[in-house]
Amino acid sequence: MELMIERDGARVNIKPEEEIHFDNYKEVEAAIVKEIEAGATEVSLDLSNVTTLYSMTLGMFNKIAAAISEKGGRFVLTNINSDIRKVMKATRLDKIITVR
């Protein structure tokens, strides 16, 4: 999977160029964890190319939010569509992950 990664000090924006699904979500997770371990305190995941969330993606979001929170940072989802916003509210992940 191709990921566009932009760094600005301790802030990182990651944009998957395609849907996140079972075959590639580990690549996204590994890229985000690598940035957190390198000192990122804010990781934004741009979901403009993502239309659907699967259960393993939600689990990944929860795991990432916990990992970055332990280091005093935050995990942000940006450019989400209305369906993803509804899923975030229904699962209450919007309470632990910033949604823009």
Domain positions in the chain are: 3-99
pTM: 0.95
Architecture of the domain spanning 3-99 = 2-Layer Sandwich (3.30)
Taking a C-beta distance cutoff of 8 angstroms, is the pair 88, 96 a contact?
no
Confidence at residue 27, expressed as pLDDT on a 0 to 100 scale: 97
Confidence at residue 85, expressed as pLDDT on a 0 to 100 scale: 96
> Any residues with CB less than 8 A from the CB of 6 and at least 6 apart, and which?
12, 13, 15
Confidence at residue 88, expressed as pLDDT on a 0 to 100 scale: 96
Whose tokens are 């000090």? That residue is 9
pLDDT band at 36 (very low <50, low <70, confident <90, very high): very high
Q: Which whole number is the average pLDDT over 52-78? A: 96
Confidence at residue 10, expressed as pLDDT on a 0 to 100 scale: 97
